[in-house]
Amino acid sequence: MPRPHRSESQTREAVGMAVIDHVAQYGIPANPSFPMEQIITAAGISRASAYRIWPGREAFVAFALEQCAAGRAVATLDSALLRRLTDKALAIKGDAVARAAHFLAASGDEEVTLLLSSPQWRAFVAFRAIAAATDSDDVRDAVAQADDEDLARLTRTYARIAEAWSLEPVDGTDGIASLAYAAMIQLRTTVAAIVGGSNEAVARRRLRSTLQALVRGTFRAKPGTRVSARDVRRAIASTID
């Protein structure tokens, strides 16, 4: 049966998805290589079409690594789930710090669920794993850029959450950036550990406990302020970029 005609962009998309599926299942060798023939066959692409776009191994490896690096750009928690998590946090006993800690720990746990279900994120985990071992400046630069972008996003998000719960950093504004960095490392470490075969329940429990401790150690309630449930819900909704 003849293969359907595809444009170059459609071919790239199909092969990119096949790369992600392959890496999510098999990982990436420390010296990055990809079985081009196997991947293009899985994508339903002819050798002639593939070699017109990627004339050699180096071009295909560069493309495959780009797909893995882009894997971190998966969807974040949706507004309906954030509303449910916010309402649960508002209902618990305790002060604003305790409620914010509960919210962030629950959000982190839900994000782990989202990331574990994503072949794209599994591919990015594999991509990060080779960064320390590879001699490729491009790989290391891509990981560093991903870290910088994710840290900036988390810092903005945590600043909005702190404002929503009328919290202020114990150690000044740098406290939020430090919390964001620690949370990013914890989330990535948890996902990588579970993907690597660690006990999922234990890893998740450790993540929730660590995130709550980080929030309690970073924030305090602003003196003389009252937390409005309506304002909290509105501010939390604004964290979706």
CATH topology of domain 73-237: Tetracycline Repressor; domain 2 (1.10.357)
- Candidates 204, 34, 226; CA nearest to 105 is 204
Q: Please tell me the chain's helix, strand, coil percentages from 3-state DSSP, rounded to the nearest 5.
A: 75, 0, 25
Determine the CATH number of domain 8-70.
Answer: 1.10.10
What is the value of pTM for the model shown?
A: 0.76
CB 40 within 8 A of CB 15: yes
DSSP 52: H
Residue 160 has pLDDT above 70, yes or no: yes
Q: Mean pLDDT lowest for which of 91-95, 130-134, 216-220?
A: 130-134
Q: What is the pLDDT of residue 1?
A: 45
Q: What is the pLDDT of residue 74?
A: 58
* Sequence spans of domains, the chain: 8-70, 73-237
Q: What is the pLDDT of residue 3?
A: 56
Residue 173 has pLDDT above 60, yes or no: no
- Mean per-residue pLDDT, 183-191: 89
Distance CA 39, CA 67 (A): 13
For the chain, counts of helices (H) and of strands (E): 11, 2
**Residue 109 burial (CB count, 10 A):** 17
Largest CA distance in the chain: 73
Structure tokens at 86: 């916010």
